[in-house]
Amino acid sequence: MLQVMKEQSWYRMVMQLLIFMLGVFCLAAGVMNGGYRDTLIKAIMVCLECIGIG
């Protein structure tokens, strides 16, 4: 029983690490692609519209 729990724990740790690395890769690819600029511009426009300037 304990051996099965250790195997599941190891498998879970490996899967968490792989998902984390995939997230970091996708985040880096988005930044390198310039995706942050679109989000920043949209956020600025929403703020300006909210206070009545834009």
pLDDT in tens, 3-49: 666 777 888 999 999 999 999 999 999 889 988 888 889 888 988 88
Give the CA distances from residue 36 to residues 15, 22, 25, 30, 46, in Å, rounded to whole numbers and listed in that order. 28, 18, 15, 7, 15
Cβ pair 45, 54 in contact under 8 A: yes
Give 54's contacts (C-beta < 8 A, 6+ positions apart): 45, 48
What is this structure's pTM? 0.60
pLDDT at residue 2 tops 60: no
Rounded Cα–Cα distance for residues 45 and 32 (Å): 23
